A and B are shown apart, each in its own frame.
Chain A
Amino acid sequence: MKKILNKNKKSIKYPKNQKKILLYSCIGLFILSPLIKLFFFDRYYDKEQFFVSDSNNYEVGLFAEIGNQTIEQSFLARDNNISGFDIQFSGSKAFIRWKLIDAEQKIINEGEIKNAGEGRISKIRFEPIKNVSGDKFSLIFIDLDEENGVMISYSNKEYCNDCLLIIDGNEINGNINFVPVYKANDFFEFSKILFERIKNTIIVD
C-alpha cells in the first residue's frame, strides 16, 4: 500500500507555473485569513449594549460580587441566532460558571470562563440558538473561586426597558455591562449588516 502511495506521489509533477500559483494562493489565503475568519466563520454582531461604564476604561460605580451575591440578568433577544455575550468583569482573575436560562427556567446553555476579572472583556460564544427574536432569557453567574471573588459592575439607571437585573433577590434599577451577540446566517447577511453600519456612520447629517 505504501509503495503504491509513494508511486502516486512521485507521479504527480506540478509544472513550475502551477507551483507558483499554488504558493501565491496559499500566501493570499494567509494574508486574507483575518477577513475570511470574520466574514465566513465568525459573523458575530451585536444589537445593543445596556450599560456603558462611566469613566475612561475604568469602571466607576456599583459592583456585585459573583459567588457571594446571586446575580441574574434577564433580557429580550433582539434578533435571531443568539450566539454569545461580551461581558466586562473586574476584581481578581478567577473561574466563573455561567448559565443561560429561558423564560421557563430551562437551561439553554452553560459554560465556564477562565481568567475573568481585572476589567477585561470576556467573550462567551456558543452554537447559535435559532429563531429566538423577542424571547426572554436570563444570565446567571456562579463564581468557582469564591475567595478571589470576581466582581461585575452595573448601572444605577435603567437603560433597557425589557431587561431586569436581580441581585440577591432584589430588583435593581439598572443593568450589568454586557452585550448579547448574534450570528449572521451567511456571508451575505453579515456583509449587509456591516456595510449598512459603516455607511450609517460615514453619512452623518
Chain B
Amino acid sequence: MTKIVKFIKKWKYLTIFVFLVFLIPPFQSPDEPAHLRYIEFITEYKSLPSKYTYKNAELLNQSEEIQKAINETETNIIAKNPNYHNILENEDITSDEQNVLHYVFNHPPLYYIWGALIFWIGGALSIIQKIYLIRFSNIIFVLITFYYSLRFVKNLKISELAKTALVSLVNLWPMYLFVSAGVNNDVLLTTASISTLVIAYEIFTCRKKIKISKYLELALWINVGMLTKAHFAPLLLFVGYVFLDKLLTKKVKIKEIVIFIAGLIPTIIYFVSRFFIYGTLYPTPSLSKFSSEVVVDSGYKLVNICENLPILSYVKVLIYPRLGLILQNFVGNFGWLDTRVPLIVVFIFILFCGIGGLGVFKKLLRNLNDKKLIDKNILFILMPIISLEVFFVYLYLKTYIPQCYLYFPVQGRYYFPILLPIMYLIVMGIEYLFPSKWHKYAYSGIIIMIIYYLIYSISLILQRYYL
C-alpha cells in the first residue's frame, strides 16, 4: 500500500466528504427535494406508498414542511439561475412556486428506508438539519465503495502506483463525491454496483474453491442494488456471465447456486409482490387531477410535432446532445447541473478514455494472436459499460420516443455504477499502450491531476453558491 492510499484512507478523505456535505446548500443537490419527500413519506406513514397513493400522486407531492423549507432557503430561485447565490442579502425576491416531488417514487425503496431511519433518529430536528444528517449518513456508503475498490486493486497485477491511481480516480472523482454528498439514492446504487462488480470479478478470477460466504456477500449486494434503483439490473449480465463461466468449467456446484439464489429472496419477494399488486415491477405515480398541467415540461418536450418528425431525428437525439450531456454531467456539472467545468476537462477525460479504449483494443489483438479469446479484465470493463448503455438506449426507445421527447434528459450520475470499470479502462490503456518506464510518470500525473481537479471543483462550488 503506498503512502497516498494511506493518506486517503486516513481522516482526510472523510474531511473532504464532510466538507462537501456542508458546502452544498440544502436542496441544491440534484433532485434532493424529491428524494427527501420519499424519505419523509415513509417516516410519516410508516409504510411504503400504496396503490392508492400511486394513483393519486398529489398525496406524494404534499409536504408542507419541505415546501416551507424550499421557500425559506430560496431553493427554486437559486437553482434556476446559475448566476444566483447569496440568498441572505437578496431579501426582495420571493418565490411561491410549488415543487413537483412525486417523480422519484418509481424507485425501489431501500435507500429511502435507510433515509427514513435517519430521519426518524433526527426526531425534533428541523427539516434542514435532517437533510444534513441524511447526507452525513451517506458517508457509510462512500466508505464501503472505497473498501471494495481497494479490494479490487489488491489482486490486480499492476504496480502499487497504478493501484493508487485507480483507487484515487474512483473515490476522489469530484462529481461522484458531489452526488454522494446529497440526499440521493445514486450513492447507494453506486456502492451496490461497485461492490457487486468487485465480488463477481473476484469469483470470476478465483482459481481456488470459492467460499459460500462469497456467494452470500454477492447476493447481499445484488439485493441492495436491485432494491435501490432499476439502473442496477443491467450489471447482472456480468454476474450472470460469471456464473455461466463457473458452471461450464464446473467450478460451482448446484448447492452453491441454490444458496446464492436463496440469498436473493428479499429481491424476489419484493418484485413478485410489486408485480401482483401493481402489474408492473416499477409502479409509477400518476397525477389524477392535473396531469396535463403538471407533467407538461416545455423545456424538454416538443408537444404536437413529433408525429411528423423523421426517424433520423430521434437517432440524432440519441447521440447529440445526449452523449455530450452524459459526458459533461459525468465529468463535472455541479449545483443543480448548472455549474459546468470547462470543456477542456471533458476533452482530457475523453482523451484518457480514448487511450483506455486503444489499450484494450491492443490487448484484444494480442489475445487473438495468442488464440486466447476471453480476457477476464476486458470483460469486467466492457460488459457492464455496454449493458448499461444498452439499458439506457432501451429506456429512450421505450419511454421517450412515445412521449415525443426530442431532448433526452440524461444525467452523468446514472453512469456511476460503472465508475470502476471506466476508471480501470483508463489504467488498462496506460498499461498496454505506454512503455513501462513511463508508467511511473503517468500514474503520478493522474494522482496529482485528480486531487487538483477535486480542489478545483470545490472552488467552483464555492463560487457558485457563496461568492
A47-83 contacts to B (CB < 8 Å) = 47-49, 52-58
A102 within 8 A of B: no
B451 within 8 A of A: yes
* B87: A residues at CB distance < 8 A: 201
- Asked if B467 and A45 make an inter-chain contact with CB atoms under 8 angstroms apart, the answer reads yes
Chain A nearest CB, measured from B40 CB (Å): 17
With A and B bound together, what is the CA distance between A52 and B87 in angstroms? 12
- Asked if A53 and B126 make an inter-chain contact with CB atoms under 8 angstroms apart, the answer reads no
- Asked if B80 and A55 make an inter-chain contact with CB atoms under 8 angstroms apart, the answer reads yes
Q: A198-B22, A204-B72 are in contact. Are A57 and B81 (CB under 8 A)?
A: yes
Q: Mark B63-106, 1 if CB is under 8 A from A, else 0.
A: 00000010011000100111111111110110000000000000
With A and B bound together, what is the CA distance between A34 and B463 in angstroms? 11
- Asked if B467 and A200 make an inter-chain contact with CB atoms under 8 angstroms apart, the answer reads no
- Asked if A194 and B466 make an inter-chain contact with CB atoms under 8 angstroms apart, the answer reads yes
- Asked if B466 and A55 make an inter-chain contact with CB atoms under 8 angstroms apart, the answer reads no
* A33: B residues at CB distance < 8 A: 452, 455
Q: Which residue from chain B places its CB closest to the CB of A119 in the assembled complex?
A: B82
| Chain A contact surface mostly | mixed
B25 within 8 A of A: yes
Q: Which residue from chain B places its CB closest to the CB of A53 in the assembled complex?
A: B81
Most buried by B among A27, A38, A159: A38
Q: Which residue from chain B places its CB closest to the CB of A120 in the assembled complex?
A: B82
- Asked if A34 and B459 make an inter-chain contact with CB atoms under 8 angstroms apart, the answer reads yes
Most buried by B among A46, A55, A159, A160: A46
Which one of B126, B452, B459 contacts A38 once the chains associate, using CB atoms below 8 Å? B459
B161 within 8 A of A: no
Q: A88-B83, A121-B83 are in contact. Are A35 and B459 (CB under 8 A)?
A: yes
With A and B bound together, what is the CA distance between A145 and B271 in angstroms? 61
B26 within 8 A of A: yes
B338 within 8 A of A: yes
Q: Mark B445-467, 1 if CB is under 8 A from A, else 0.
A: 00010011001101100110111
Q: A30-B448, A31-B455 are in contact. Are A197 and B466 (CB under 8 A)?
A: yes
Q: A34-B455, A159-B92 are in contact. Are A47 and B84 (CB under 8 A)?
A: no
Q: Mark B369-407, 1 if CB is under 8 A from A, else 0.
A: 000000000000000000000000000000000000000
B132 within 8 A of A: yes
With A and B bound together, what is the CA distance between A27 and B89 in angstroms? 38
Most buried by A among B69, B448, B459: B459
B310 within 8 A of A: no
Q: Which residue from chain A places its CB closest to the CB of B338 in the assembled complex?
A: A57
- Asked if B466 and A31 make an inter-chain contact with CB atoms under 8 angstroms apart, the answer reads no
- Asked if B82 and A200 make an inter-chain contact with CB atoms under 8 angstroms apart, the answer reads no
- Asked if A38 and B86 make an inter-chain contact with CB atoms under 8 angstroms apart, the answer reads no
With A and B bound together, what is the CA distance between A121 and B338 in angstroms? 11
- Asked if B126 and A204 make an inter-chain contact with CB atoms under 8 angstroms apart, the answer reads yes
* A54: B residues at CB distance < 8 A: 80
- Asked if A159 and B93 make an inter-chain contact with CB atoms under 8 angstroms apart, the answer reads yes
* B458: A residues at CB distance < 8 A: 34-35
A179 within 8 A of B: yes
B128 within 8 A of A: yes
Which one of A31, A37, A38 contacts B448 once the chains associate, using CB atoms below 8 Å? A31
B279 within 8 A of A: no
Chain B nearest CB, measured from A83 CB (Å): 12
With A and B bound together, what is the CA distance between A32 and B454 in angstroms? 10
B299 within 8 A of A: yes
B23 within 8 A of A: yes
* A52: B residues at CB distance < 8 A: 77, 80-81, 84, 93
* A205: B residues at CB distance < 8 A: 126
Q: Which residue from chain A places its CB closest to the CB of B450 in the assembled complex?
A: A31
The 8 closest A-B pairs by CB, nearest first: A34-B459, A34-B456, A204-B128, A197-B466, A45-B467, A31-B452, A52-B81, A38-B459
Pull 9 A–B residue pairs with CB atoms less than 8 Å apart, ordered by A.
A27-B448, A34-B452, A35-B458, A38-B463, A44-B467, A57-B81, A57-B82, A177-B81, A201-B26
Which A residues form the contact surface with B (CB < 8 A)? 27, 30-35, 37-38, 44-49, 52-58, 86, 88, 121, 159-160, 177, 179, 194, 197-198, 200-202, 204-205
Which B residues form the contact surface with A (CB < 8 A)? 22-23, 25-26, 69, 72-73, 77, 80-90, 92-93, 126, 128-129, 132, 299, 338, 448, 451-452, 455-456, 458-459, 462-463, 465-467
| Known contacts A33-B455, A56-B299; 15 further A-B pairs (Cβ under 8 A) | A31-B448, A31-B455, A35-B458, A38-B459, A45-B86, A46-B85, A49-B93, A52-B77, A56-B80, A121-B82, A198-B23, A202-B22, A204-B26, A204-B72, A205-B126
